[in-house]
Structure 1
């Protein structure tokens, strides 16, 4: 059987890199298997997964994203910004406010455009989910903020937030020196989290600045995680580390994101970058 050719675009947001397919023009079959194959950084294109930019009946476009292990994610903050840039510059959606359908609801993207080029995107990520049963995490009560429980084999204090996907936020010191390859899987697959979890290791530098590293379910450590940055900012506000309704800079391995938790919604601002275009046979 003759191979099918697909065109793709490699993009990243703060180093969180995905392989994007324009499904207004391309038909991608078996995206789970394709993500596993193409994400491999030695035998594939290389990336944290693939993202499909699809038609939508309720928004300007619809996003489907698949992690490097083939699992489908509900939401990716960095990918939403990249899609905003793609739609404006290449997709013919010449609006500075774009709506994007995701598995965690419709997101509103506000674009900053300079000379026809999108320089940054602010995404209204919606309200954080704090109720343990809805995150989900197997903890009692109405919130899991500064909760203490057995986690990854030790008694730890942490906060849990969903931004369309589950996050476990741990405030600690010496974040740069953590061996995430060793400790990350223990958090991701802990029985507390029935759908696995993204884990953020966060160091408070000052009331408006956090340093964060992330172990993402299905992908391992990535250079950035937009929903993780949002979850970390929310947890920092609720734990009293940072002020409500003020900009908080999240310093990630791949760059900085600016997050504001208003008490009702979470606003995420940052850049998006084209890396290269390519063709792959599937």
Structure 2
């Protein structure tokens, strides 16, 4: 049975999302429906879907509700698969909550539930900053093959609530020469897949105490995107790890869709940048 579905389109540095409000958890989107909504030719188009639901109204939100987080970000990739976390998505989610009067987010942190736990957000002059929490580094042997690279390159595993493999390239020529229309292949393959980030350090790497890198990303379940918030954090963490003890704790990361800021504080990583709502609409969902 077809029914009407209001939606909002939003993005964070070009990483775009279809946002649907379902406060009481009454909407059950199938993987195929999500894929159609995210299709750029046959649907609205987006890298994923953000379902705005109260934590108490979704089984995965029980812990978030107990921790006092009213809202839960039910994030689905463009292929319909559920994802643990989305750094750009949660800032767009916060923008939606504030624009529609569902929450007030200012200088005091506000918790939002995700499959990677409750994430705290604060407002910044250009958007929002999210505390992604602690991270882990996996230095196990990992090789990454990608079209445009003549040989497989070593990758560094970084987990910031979801899994990433970060690959250092020699320069801008290699970065622009990548063909990310094809999914990179990881050896060994992570059990749940991983987002893959390709990074090039700036020259000089550090300016006025702030590190700088450029990045492109292939997101699992999506493909190449203009930006990936958790991927930006993972890339900065990887370059900081490689650079050693003298590396800075503040970074600027340039992605095709813009620039995001990353801070490391007391064993936690924070991501900041813009979040924009573009338009609203209504469609008939079969």
TM-score range, shorter chain: 0.7 to 0.9
The answer (yes or no) to whether the contact 2:144–2:155 under 8 Å persists in 1 is no
2:85 matches 1:85: no
Q: Alpha-carbon deviation of 1:210?
A: 0.5
1:127 paired residue among 124, 127, 134: 134
Residue of structure 2 equivalent to 1:66: 76
Residue of structure 1 equivalent to 2:123: 111
Deviates most, 28-37 or 97-106: 28-37
2:275 matches 1:272: yes
Residue of structure 1 equivalent to 2:104: 94
2:262 matches 1:249: no
Q: Alpha-carbon deviation of 1:281?
A: 1.0
2:169 matches 1:166: no
The answer (yes or no) to whether the contact 2:184–2:196 under 8 Å persists in 1 is no
1:155-210 Cα deviation digits (max 9, x unpaired): 5322110111110000102312211113x3424xx543111110000000123110
Show the 5 A alignment for 1:1-282.
1=1, 3-24=2-23, 27-56=26-55, 57=65, 58-96=68-106, 97-112=109-124, 119-130=126-137, 143-144=138-139, 148-152=141-145, 155-172=152-169, 173=171, 174=173, 175-182=175-182, 184-187=183-186, 190-205=187-202, 206-207=205-206, 208-240=211-243, 244=247, 246-262=249-265, 264-282=267-285
Matches of 2:244 and 2:279, distance apart in 1: 39
Query: Unmatched 5+ residue regions in structure 2?
Result: 56-64
Give the length in aligned residue pairs.
Answer: 259
TM-score (norm. length: structure 2): 0.84
Matches of 1:7 and 1:26, distance apart in 2: 15
The answer (yes or no) to whether the contact 1:245–1:263 under 8 Å persists in 2 is no
Change (3 A) 1:106 1:149: closer
1:38-63 Cα deviation digits (max 9, x unpaired): 11100100011111111022303101
Query: Unmatched 5+ residue regions in structure 1?
Result: 114-118, 131-142
1:103-157 Cα deviation digits (max 9, x unpaired): 00100000136xxxxx310110101122xxxxxxxxxxxx31xx54444395532
The answer (yes or no) to whether the contact 2:144–2:184 under 8 Å persists in 1 is no
